[in-house]
Amino acid sequence: MAGLSPEARELLRRRLASRRADVGNTIPRRAPDEPVPMSFAQWRLWFLEQLRPGTNAWNTPVAARLRGPLDVATLRRSLALVLERHPMLRTVFPPDRAAEVLTGGPFQVVLERPKVELPVIDAGVRDGAATTIDDRIDAFVAAEVRRPFDLKADLMVRARLLRLGPEDHVLVVVAHHIACDGWSKGLLIGDLGTAYSALVEGRDPILARPAIEYADFAVWQRRWLDGERLQRLTSYWVQRLAGHALALELATDKPRPRMQEFRGAVQWLALPASLADGVVALARRQRATPFMALMAGFMALLHAQSGQDDLLVGSPAAMRHQPELEHVIGLFANTLVYRVNLGGKPTYAELIGRVRETALGAYQYQDLPFEKLVEAVKPRRDPSRNPLVQVNLRVEGREPALALRGVRCEPISVDPGIARFDLAIELGATEDGFAGYLEYDTNLFEPASAAALADSFAAVLDSAVASPDLPLTQLPPIREVITSTRRTSKR
């Protein structure tokens, strides 16, 4: 909001106020014995799990090195308190035909008093092949992050410690995306730190359970999204995406496999403070947000790399309209589809304007779940790629860091080894600008190509901020990407 002009801020406020009024003010508690269906977003992940049992594509990790006198028993108790506060983390999805008849499909069950474990692994005996501390940490984190969940029986979060020394540990916490989105990860980290710090100080942690549970939301969503409301949302998106039949055909290093395997890697990416400030300032002059300016840069790169004008790019929305959802862990995030045409040789400033108009419409109609959108638009089914969007951009504020009383917590960057899209960029605000990564499908791209794309994204932004009124095709980084892509295509 800070990046918007007063006029754009007022327009966005009115549109969001109108949508919030339509959403409703409160979500009621469900009846205690009422079977709980999955939310629409949960159902999609559950369905994908049935197609590829045992996949780790939806694991959401947090890792940190803990230096200092860590109290393992207190950390274990703190994790149990977090699970007590957030029922979604102790929810399972068992098969039960009778219950599915009542809920209209797959359902979920909250376990009341599950056993919460926090295994401690001694680094000295766990991996004899690892010769250095860094090797042991990397091997431990990779093994934990890539270990799949059993949705029928496992808790939706697990934690494990690697003991490097008496006051040196590595903590890995992994949640399944069916129970935890990006916002929820921040809640999980914050609550764990709050509980631990209070307990080591001899205080009772103040972790009151939220007024509603995720199960209440799932029941409400199924009832609320129906009839005229569903028709109105669907009509907007069907009209918005009408006529778009082409998948994004990026210039890849390898032929696309017949089925998407979610194998990936990350290329770390950083935009320095000077460039981040330039993006923010230009966005403000264009009556847009920094996200819109970053999306314009990403689309300019995709346009050059693919040679296509009509682009669809995905980006998540938090979907926590009601205040009572702000402190609930669960999968609320929805993928919005941004359709922008880059035909006519626009300047970067003009492209930001096109993205802005697209974004404002997407925000106003964001309540249609992506799963319902796919159902309505009916894109050609292709098991080798995601429906509708093959690329994604996520821009977040500063992510909360784990804080444990008396312990120095150093975040560990994690490469989960997965790719949910052909390409995805995730950026977060830092004191030094924006930092994050480019995630890429290793079945399509070599590491060198991914590194070049990450560098090109930063170069496009830098050049565009310096010359926002030049046509995109005249920006040197764009010309270089086009030349490189054509050269590769002729091989």
CATH of the domain at 248: 3.30.559.30
- What is the span of the domain harbouring residue 459? 6-25+226-489
Query: 291 Cβ partners below 8 Å, 6+ apart?
Result: 315, 359, 395
Q: Do 231 and 343 fall into the same domain?
A: yes
Q: Do 210 and 257 fall into the same domain?
A: no
Q: Do 43 and 192 fall into the same domain?
A: yes
pLDDT of residue 257: 95
CATH code at position 77: 3.30.559.10
Q: Do 230 and 221 contact (CB within 8 A), yes or no?
A: no
The answer to the question of residue 1 being in a domain is no
Q: Do 146 and 59 fall into the same domain?
A: yes
Q: Do 87 and 211 fall into the same domain?
A: yes
d(CA 147, CA 471): 47
In this structure, what token pair is assigned to residue 382? Answer: 């292709």
The answer to the question of residue 241 being in a domain is yes
Q: Do 328 and 432 fall into the same domain?
A: yes
pLDDT of residue 127: 47
CA 65 to chain centre: 23
pLDDT of residue 482: 85
Please list the rounded mean pLDDT of every run of 10 residues in the chain (491 residues).
57 54 70 89 92 92 97 97 96 72 71 93 64 89 95 96 96 98 95 97 89 95 94 97 89 94 95 96 95 98 96 96 93 97 96 97 96 93 93 88 96 93 95 94 97 97 97 93 68 43
In this structure, what token pair is assigned to residue 300? Answer: 């300019």
Q: Do 156 and 299 fall into the same domain?
A: no
Its pTM stands at: 0.89
Domain boundary among 216, 234, 269: 216
Domain boundary among 197, 216, 235: 216
The answer to the question of residue 336 being in a domain is yes
The answer to the question of residue 428 being in a domain is yes
pLDDT of residue 490: 43
Q: Do 419 and 311 fall into the same domain?
A: yes
Q: Do 190 and 256 fall into the same domain?
A: no
Domain count, the chain: 2
Q: Do 55 and 14 fall into the same domain?
A: no
Q: Do 112 and 142 fall into the same domain?
A: yes
The answer to the question of residue 314 being in a domain is yes
The answer to the question of residue 59 being in a domain is yes
Largest Cα span, the chain: 69
d(CA 185, CA 322): 19
Place of tokens 């690697």: 162
Domain boundary among 177, 195, 216: 216
Q: Do 330 and 350 fall into the same domain?
A: yes
Instruction: Kindly provide the b/e burial profile for residues 133-172, where b requires at least 16 CB atoms within 10 angstroms of the residue's own CB.
Output: eeebbbbbbbebbeebbebeeebbbbbbbbbbeeeebbbb
The answer to the question of residue 190 being in a domain is yes
The answer to the question of residue 438 being in a domain is yes
